[in-house]
Amino acid sequence: MIIHIFRDSKGRGSKACHGRRRCQVLSLLLLNPYPSSSHNIPYLVERHRTCKMGSTHEPRTNKLIREPLKAGKAIDYLEYRDVTPLIGREYPTASLKKIYDAPDRDAQLRDLAITICERGVAFFHAPQDDLSVDEQKDITDLLGKLTGRPQENGLHIHPLWNDPNNLAMADGKVDENIYVINADAQKKLYATMPNHQNRDRQPPDVGREWHSDSLYENCPSDFSFLRMQETPPSGGDTLWCSGYELYDRMSPPFKKLVEGLTATCAQPVFKTACAAGGYPVTSPRGSPLNVDFEFSPSHPVVRTHPVTGWKSLYAGVGIHVTKISGVYSYEDTLIRDYVARLITRNHDGIARMHWTRGACAIWCNACTLHAATPDTHLVEGNRVGVRATGIGDVPYFDPASTGRREALGWPSY
């Protein structure tokens, strides 16, 4: 449902724009009109004045849809350093196994989850070889559960889980909740992607690789946990970009523009891959909302983070974004090119992980974009990792939320 409310220059509202008054169009996009659903959170909630011509009634509130969570002191004992002032936190000596086995495990994991939501991504450089795959999965699941994600959601299952080209883990086992990261396997898995066969004949558009995990799902990912099992002598780094900072780097008028936009986030390759391989698509995939071939949801370009309450650029660019909805094609190109330029011209908002064997990264997909560096074909050795991914909230935008810089009192631009 879309509701248009017009405001004149004095803030008076009506359902029509009269005379030569300057008006703003504010759209209310409701994902689900049924209040019984736990996912009934609007993409765009406009707390507007309801009025009659000549009189004003103003029930105003600045209350957030969800109150932000604050970390306690459960992990204050861990040695850490921030990767940059804007994104990333490194834990050079921390043991995730010890955190998992601790008597106050839930308190520590809750604080870790909130920290990751604030910092975007956490790096664990010490080898985490003593952590089992089941424990890795459980940690990923608990990070979401302990920070308020819908209880019916769990770990994501890749849509192409049934594909015979999926690799087993290093121990030879397979797990529906573990996605094995391997460049050679991914080439086979996505062989039906348009222009895939021609990609090696021209310089790759590396900037196209930025994405947020499972953006193609109706209910996308919250936390992802990647542990690297094999690494080449160089190359294969992963980069994360702060969605908070991308939003804060926009001018106020442009912020208002993108706050009212949604994007179609489709991944048609899954349907063609299933048809070519003759196997069924995995369903459901971590949420009752992620079923069948429903791979073209509409997500807000700017979302409110459910844990921090900060605005983050979310669905404005990347391999899963098909188009910005409701705008002309040249405007769609303009907006997406602008977002891509924000990333490339602001490298101070990027954290880079050089992988070593056994190292881990855990990140929040609601406030970061990430991209792998496709350069391992130039060196000997393989890059293999195992990733578990949780399913979080349906993305929404709350006008009562603020950018991170405003919330923390940092200088604005």
pLDDT of residue 374: 83
Q: Which residue has the higher pLDDT, 103 or 54?
A: 103
DSSP letter assigned to residue 402: B
pTM assigned to the model: 0.83
Comparing 39-43, 186-190, 281-285, 343-347, which segment has the lowest mean pLDDT? 39-43
pLDDT of residue 61: 59
Is CATH 3.40.50.150 correct for 81-408? no
Q: Which residue has the higher pLDDT, 379 or 4?
A: 379
Backbone φ and ψ of 151, nearest 5°: -65, -25
pLDDT exceeding 70 applies to what percent of the chain?
81
Note whether 37 and 49 are within 8 A (CB): no
Comparing 16-20, 278-282, 375-379, 400-404, which segment has the lowest mean pLDDT? 16-20
**Banded model confidence at residue 205, pLDDT cuts 50, 70, 90:** confident
Return residue ranges of the chain for CATH 3.60.130.10.
81-408
Hey, what long-range contacts does 322-325 have (CB within 8 A, 24 or more apart)? 322/263, 322/264, 322/265, 322/266, 322/296, 323/263, 323/264, 324/261, 324/262, 324/263, 325/261, 325/262, 325/263, 325/264, 325/298
| pLDDT tens profile 4-21 | 333 334 444 433 333 333
Q: Is the pLDDT of residue 251 over 60?
A: yes
CB atoms within 10 A of CB 294: 14
DSSP letter assigned to residue 349: G
Length of the chain: 413
| Overall average pLDDT of the 184-191 stretch | 57
Q: Which amino acid is at 365?
A: N
What sign for the dihedral angle of Cα 125, 389, 386, 208? negative
pLDDT of residue 198: 53
| Overall average pLDDT of the 186-199 stretch | 53
Q: Decide the pairing of beta strands 298-300 and 262-264.
A: antiparallel
Backbone φ and ψ of 232, nearest 5°: -75, 170
**Banded model confidence at residue 166, pLDDT cuts 50, 70, 90:** confident
| Overall average pLDDT of the 32-43 stretch | 38
| Overall average pLDDT of the 194-217 stretch | 76
| Overall average pLDDT of the 274-289 stretch | 95
